Every structure is written in C-alpha cells, then in structure tokens.
Amino acid sequence: MAELTYRDAVIRGIAQEMERDPDVVFLGEDIAKAGGVFKATVGLYEQFGPLRVRDTPISEQAILGAAMGAAMTGLKPIAEIMFSDFIAVCFDYIANEFPKSRYMTNGQTKCPLVVRTGNGAGSRFGAQHSQSVENWCMMIPGLKVVAPSSPADVIGLLAASVRDPDPVIFLEHKSLYPTKGEVPDGEIVDKLGTAKILRPGKDATILALALMVPRALAAAEKLAAEHGIDCEVIDVRSLVPLDTQTILGSVAKTHRAFSVEENPRLCGWGAEIMSIIADEAFYDLDGPLVRITTPHCPLPSADVLEDAILPNVDRIVERVSKTLNS
C-alpha cells in the first residue's frame, strides 16, 4: 500500500499496461518528451521509448483516426485528447467511426482503444477548457465511458479499459490530478460497469461521478452531523456499461435518490439514471428524484464565478435536507 496522487496513478496505470502488452502504444500532444501538460505522463517516453510513446502534431482528428486504424489492425492504442472540450473537433471519430464500425460491418471490425482526456472544471480555464463532456459520449451506442474519482480507481479502471475489446472514453478529472489516495501494491485491474458504494447509509442515495464524489462524501458527513440524515454515497464510476443493479439496490433501501452532476443540466447522465429509477423502482420511492447539476450555462473563468456555478457541498446539503424535510 502506498499513497499516490491521481496524476501519478495515471502514469502507473499506463506503465502497468505497456509493460504487460507490447501492443499497447500511446500517442497524443506533448505526452512524450514533455510528459503531458498535466504532468500525467511523465517518464513514460523514457521508459518505453519513442516507438511506443509518440508526440503528435495538434491534430485531434489524426490522433483519434490513427488510434482507430491501429486498433483495427492489431494494436491497443491509448490516445490522449489534452482537454475533453477538444473532443468537439474530432467528434466524428467518437460519434461516427469508433462506435459504429463493428455494427455496420456485421462484426468484422474491432476497435479496442482508449481515449484518455482531461475533463471537468476547477482550473479557471473558462468555457472551452473546463467542460464535463461525459454526456456527449454516453449517448452513443458502441462506446464505453468511464470516469474515476480516486487514484486506485484510475489504475484499475484504466487497466480494465485497455484490456477491454471496445472503444473506451476515459475521463480524468483535471481538478483531481493533485489529490491523493491509498493504492495497493502490484498489478491492479478493476472491472468496467461496476459502481461503488463509498459510504453506506439508510436515508437517501447520492449518486456522484469524478470530482463530485468527494463533494458528495463531504456533504454526506455534514448531512449526518447537522441534519441527522444518513446518506448512501455511490461513485457511479462507469456510465457505460452502467451498474444499475447497485443503484436500484440502494434506492430500494433508502427510498430516495439524488444525483450530483458536474455536466450542464440538459441530458446529463443523472437524467438517464433517474429515468431508470422512475421506470423500474417507482414504488420504492418516498419522494421526488432530484438532480443537482451545473446550470444550463457555459462555464465562467474567474475563480469566484466558477466555484459558484458548480455543485458544491453546501448546495448538496441544502437540496438533500430540504427535500427530505419537506
């Protein structure tokens, strides 16, 4: 057991998979000699050499297209898109190419690749470098979508993504890079499609993802201390595949569900999960399904404004306590 940052967990996760399988290759902008703009790939170029860890031009379409062509013909590429906002300039591969090739070709084409990308707000970068785009990816049949919240999950879920035979969008939260957590020694391999109950509770279920997970956990402690409300906090971790059984099982116990979503409100991941709960667990519910999200608004840059627009501990506490006490 060692304490590791989320950032160093990315490095360890990639290295673990590259050591295991020579077909794992890694490409992206500034990822090799520079070690990544978030320093989340430092040392990989030195360890694995210029043939396996390759700097690319600022050409997001070329990065994802090349990853796909390599994946189709036998490699297991990891491609980095520096900021998840940039997915918009190469969305053809995310929306049209990776996820549809297997289906359209009646199973002939494979596409085992991972797109790692820096997602989320908190860095004061403004509206085009701070978005949470998990819902852009979640809506597309054929993709898998993963967003870890802890260093141990980064390694385990990254390993599971690299070993997965389908294209996986792996969303690393930029504000979590400096955070620390305990990480077991040796190889770590997790499982996609598994949510984790991080805090058991009996009064309400709070569903969260990535940066919203530590906020939901802090809110749960406050709700217990100040309002006597015992919340169960679930880290959804994997949006596709989605672990609905863990979520529905929790709601059957607590009879209440809240989602804490960093994405803007419309069509956020919580909407899909809440519709599943409404459809399949309606009679378990004692109250409304409540989504706590960023508003339907671009993200501002100034620290005070950015902090104010995202769901935070106080907003979570307020919405949960008001809903349960009304």
Q: Does 92 help bind another protein (rule: CB under 8 A)?
A: yes
Cβ closest to another protein, residue 141 vs residue 186: 141
Is-catalytic flag, 227? no
Please state whether beta strands 204-208 and 2-5 pair in parallel, antiparallel, or not at all (unpaired): unpaired
Q: Does 103 help bind another protein (rule: CB under 8 A)?
A: yes
Given 129, 173, 255, 296, the catalytic residue: 129
**Could you say which of 10, 40, 44, 71 contacts another protein (CB under 8 A)?**
71
Do residues 131 and 310 touch, judged by C-beta distance below 8 A?
no
**Could you say which of 153, 243, 261, 262 contacts another protein (CB under 8 A)?**
243
Closest by Cα among 200, 217, 243, 197 to 320: 217
Q: Does 74 help bind another protein (rule: CB under 8 A)?
A: yes
Q: Does 326 help bind another protein (rule: CB under 8 A)?
A: no
Q: Does 207 help bind another protein (rule: CB under 8 A)?
A: no
**Could you say which of 6, 45, 48, 93 contacts another protein (CB under 8 A)?**
93
Give the Cα separation of 251 and 34 in Å (integer). 46
Do residues 119 and 173 touch, judged by C-beta distance below 8 A?
yes
Please state whether beta strands 53-55 and 2-5 pair in parallel, antiparallel, or not at all (unpaired): unpaired
Q: Does 142 help bind another protein (rule: CB under 8 A)?
A: yes
How many residues bind another protein (CB under 8 A)? The answer is 52
Q: Does 262 help bind another protein (rule: CB under 8 A)?
A: no
- For residues 242-275, one letter each, b for 16 or more C-beta atoms within 10 angstroms of the residue's C-beta and e for the rest, the string is bbeebbbbbbeebbbbbbbbbbbeeebbbbbbbe
Piece of the chain touching another protein by CB under 8 A; list 56-64, 173-181, 198-206, 296-304: 56-64
Give the per-residue contact string, 146-185, with another protein (x = CB under 8 A; - = no).
------------------xxx-------------------
Cβ closest to another protein, residue 17 vs residue 203: 17
Sign of CA dihedral 284, 285, 289, 290: negative
Q: From the CA atom positions of the chain, what is the Rg in Å?
A: 19
Closest by Cα among 62, 81, 84, 65 to 73: 65
Helix (H) or strand (E) holding 257: strand 257-264
CB of 15 to another protein, least distance (A): 18
What does the binding site for another protein look like in residue numbers (CB under 8 A)? 25, 51-52, 54, 56-57, 59, 61-75, 77, 92-93, 96-97, 101-110, 112, 141-142, 144, 164-166, 193, 240-245, 276
